[in-house]
């Protein structure tokens, strides 16, 4: 670990500080070490700067360090805490972890190697806990938003139902049928319409009835137009409400801590049948097991898509070898490479591989690689074509940022 770890050692015995410092110097860690004999001194350090790790003595001022552990957690939830004890007591480790410590080690027999492992593991554990807490907050926020959306949608549906009922009433009570009756009356006297309109009692009233009916129908039309406009506004508001929820869901969709080693195993297991049927020689190589942040299901689907593409590319290959490797490109980046010995991709087609709608397969829809690249990009990573040569094979690489502590 190249980044310097800021370590705070809290122990009333100053000799213990020298011993801890001596052990740390024998490790591969790059670190700065501060010492405090009690909570007052520790609080002063914590107020001035932030620390990555706190080495806390179990016995302080003739009492356990539990109260100090609680205070540390209240003041700085990000610092990893390793509890140092003189001897292990039954159930003490569970109690320590429950109160917020990330590890517990015994001072007796504590070697530089054990101390280094405890420090690194506690930092990693605190990193994952924070990611899980953030993920929990995101899901809680989405759940609260969903409840609010359902409530709002219920109100909008009631308004929509009311608007529909008004339109139904306008339609059922419409005077449009009266126009048909007046039309039938005119048709009955069309041979002597002039005399009917001037001499017949009903005929004399016909022009006035048509004028009155026009006013009534015009009013009905206005009412109907108003309800249709209201109906349309409600539907638009429902659409906006749904879109807002979708936007928030997308915003929080990639905040899940993922054990990349397990995702690779899951993707390989899901493709085991098609790999076996085609008698493909599979080589799975993993040199690390980092955590990344994203969506488990989506990242698994990306790897499954890439593996299936590799399998299909080797349909007619004389030698069928699939190599999947998980390693670290650097300390901040995890890399998954998927290599096959398939037909390869022509050089003139390679620039278009990730374009939406492009596919060199007869039944391809041109969405797979585009989706994969967009999904990995949303997780802060990249999906690239490393190299491809016709009749020799292809290699794709998925690079993702390793989950860092805050």
Task: Give the number of other CB atoms < 10 A from CB of residue 323.
Answer: 17
Q: Angle at Cα 25 formed by Cα 23 and Cα 27, nearest 5°?
A: 80
Q: Domain 5-130 adopts which CATH fold?
A: Rossmann fold (3.40.50)
Alpha-carbon span 30 to 34, nearest angstrom: 14
Structure pTM?
0.45
* Domain locations along the chain: 5-130, 141-251, 256-401
What pLDDT score was predicted for residue 7? 93
What pLDDT score was predicted for residue 64? 56
Which contacts of 17-25 are long-range, i.e. CB under 8 A and separated by 24 or more positions? 20/55, 20/115, 23/110, 23/111, 23/112, 23/115, 24/112, 24/115, 24/116, 25/112
What pLDDT score was predicted for residue 324? 96
Q: Read off φ and ψ for residue 394, nearest 5 degrees.
A: -140, 150
What pLDDT score was predicted for residue 306? 94
What pLDDT score was predicted for residue 214? 85
What pLDDT score was predicted for residue 246? 66
What pLDDT score was predicted for residue 142? 67
What pLDDT score was predicted for residue 239? 80
Bridge-based pairing of strands 291-294 and 256-259 is: antiparallel
CATH of 256-401, one of 3.30.565.10, 2.40.128.520, 2.40.110.10, 2.60.120.380: 3.30.565.10
What pLDDT score was predicted for residue 240? 77
Q: Read off φ and ψ for residue 22, nearest 5 degrees.
A: -65, -40
Bridge-based pairing of strands 31-36 and 5-10 is: parallel
What pLDDT score was predicted for residue 2? 53
Q: For the chain, which residues score pLDDT lower than 70?
A: 1-3, 60-65, 76-77, 88-90, 131-132, 134-135, 138-139, 141-142, 145, 244-255, 357-366, 404-406
What pLDDT score was predicted for residue 1? 47
What pLDDT score was predicted for residue 199? 84
Alpha-carbon span 221 to 360, nearest angstrom: 56
């Amino acid at each position: 670990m190249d980044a310097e770890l800021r370590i705070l050692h809290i122990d009333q015995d100053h000799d213990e500080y020298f011993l801890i410092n001596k052990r740390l110097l024998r490790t591969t860690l790059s670190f700065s070490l501060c010492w405090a004999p009690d909570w007052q001194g520790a609080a002063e350090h914590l107020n001035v700067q932030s620390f990555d790790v706190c080495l806390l003595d179990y016995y302080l001022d003739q009492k356990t360090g539990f109260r100090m552990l609680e205070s540390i957690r209240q003041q700085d939830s990000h610092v990893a805490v390793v509890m140092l004890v003189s001897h292990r007591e039954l159930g003490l480790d569970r109690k320590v972890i429950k109160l917020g410590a990330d590890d517990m080690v015994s001072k007796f027999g504590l070697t530089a190697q054990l101390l280094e492992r405890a420090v690194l593991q506690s930092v990693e554990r605190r990193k994952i806990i924070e990611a899980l807490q953030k993920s929990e907050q995101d899901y809680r926020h989405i759940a609260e938003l969903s409840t609010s959306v359902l409530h709002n949608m219920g109100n909008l549906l009631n308004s929509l139902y009311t608007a529909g009922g008004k339109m139904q009433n306008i339609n059922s009570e419409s005077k449009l049928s009266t126009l048909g009756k007046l039309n039938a009356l005119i048709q009955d006297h069309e041979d002597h319409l002039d005399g009917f309109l001037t001499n017949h009692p009903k005929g004399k009233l016909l022009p006035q009835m048509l004028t009155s009916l026009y006013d009534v129908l015009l009013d009905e039309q206005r009412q109907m137009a108003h309800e249709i406009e209201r109906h349309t506004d409600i539907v638009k508001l429902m659409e906006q409400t749904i879109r807002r929820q979708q936007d928030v869901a997308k915003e929080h969709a990639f905040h899940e801590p993922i054990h990349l080693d397990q995702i690779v195993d899951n993707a390989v297991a899901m493709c085991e049948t098609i790999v076996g049927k085609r008698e493909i020689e599979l080589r799975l190589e993993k040199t690390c097991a980092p955590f990344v942040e994203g969506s488990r299901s989506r990242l698994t689907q990306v790897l499954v898509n890439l593996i299936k593409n590799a399998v299909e590319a080797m349909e007619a290959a004389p030698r069928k070898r699939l190599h999947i490797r998980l390693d670290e490109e650097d300390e901040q980046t995890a890399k998954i490479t998927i290599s096959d010995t398939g037909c390869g991709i022509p050089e003139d087609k390679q620039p278009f591989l990730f374009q939406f709608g492009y596919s060199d397969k007869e039944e391809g829809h041109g969405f797979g690689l585009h989706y994969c690249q967009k999904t990995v990009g949303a997780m802060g990573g990249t999906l690239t074509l490393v190299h491809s040569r016709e009749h020799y094979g292809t290699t794709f690489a998925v690079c993702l940022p390793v989950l860092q502590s805050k």
